[in-house]
């Protein structure tokens, strides 16, 4: 089963290993990222931080078999780099029947992005895309760690759309 899909431009890092995986009881990690999947050094560096009993897969976004992941018995956490990759995952078959919750945990500041949380910066278009995905049945939230209060999708979009 897919326990969580998380948008985090850092992909696999300590916050995932120390906070999210234990909270969700996840026994596998899937990184859906084209750049990481196509770079042996990136794949190796990312998996060096993993304990030996935690398997990880690093695949291109379009190469993930969402039905197979959802059918697994052990909980899986899926990581994507940004909102565009999340949208591509949905276009390639990720559906709310596979996972209910999408967590937006970290998106770096860039031109045109506005602060949504201390670790999430989005454009108005990215906020609107999250609202669209919520309309497909996903529960979309923003929070860095499981003990933070989640920010609901409408508030995410409102903050992303505010003028500077």
The count of structural domains within the chain is 1
Considering the entire predicted model, what is its pTM?
0.95
2-31: average pLDDT: 95
Backbone torsions φ then ψ of 22, nearest 5 degrees: -65, -40
Give which of 89, 105, 113, 97 is closest to 141, Cα–Cα: 105
Q: What is the pLDDT of residue 47?
A: 84
Q: Are 35 and 61 in contact (CB under 8 A)?
A: no
Asked if 27 and 52 count as a contact pair (C-beta separation under 8 A), the reply is no
Confidence of residue 164 (pLDDT cuts 50, 70, 90): low
Cβ atoms 142, 103 nearer than 8 A: yes
Q: In 3-state terms, what secondary structure has residue 92? A: coil
pLDDT digits (tens, 9 = 90+) for 67-114: 999 999 999 999 999 999 999 999 999 999 999 999 999 999 999 999
pLDDT of residue 16: 94
| Residues 11 and 46 sit within 8 Å (Cβ to Cβ) | yes
Helices (H) and strands (E) in the chain, counts: 8, 9
pLDDT (tens digit per residue) in 44-57: 888 887 888 999 99
pLDDT digits (tens, 9 = 90+) for 122-163: 999 999 999 999 999 999 999 999 999 999 999 999 999 985
CA dihedral sign, ordered 145, 148, 153, 154 = negative
Enclosing domain of residue 102: 2-161
Which CATH number covers residue 99? 3.40.35.10
Parallel, antiparallel or unpaired: strands 120-122 and 114-117: antiparallel
Percent of the chain with pLDDT over 70: 99
């Amino acid at each position: 089963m897919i326990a969580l899909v998380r948008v985090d431009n850092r992909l696999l890092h300590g916050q995932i290993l120390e906070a999210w995986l234990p909270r969700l009881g996840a026994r596998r990690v899937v990184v859906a990222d084209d750049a990481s999947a196509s770079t042996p050094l990136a794949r190796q560096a990312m998996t060096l931080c993993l304990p030996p009993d935690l398997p990880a897969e690093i695949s291109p976004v379009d190469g993930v078999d969402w039905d197979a992941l959802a059918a697994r018995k052990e909980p899986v956490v899926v990581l994507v780099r940004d909102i565009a990759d999340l949208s591509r995952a949905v276009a390639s078959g990720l559906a709310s029947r596979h996972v209910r919750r999408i967590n937006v945990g970290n998106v770096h500041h860039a031109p045109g992005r506005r602060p949504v949380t201390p670790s999430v910066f989005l454009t108005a278009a990215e906020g609107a895309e999250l609202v669209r995905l919520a309309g497909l049945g996903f529960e979309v939230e923003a929070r860095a760690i499981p003990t933070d209060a989640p920010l609901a999708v409408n508030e995410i979009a409102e903050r992303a759309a505010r003028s500077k």
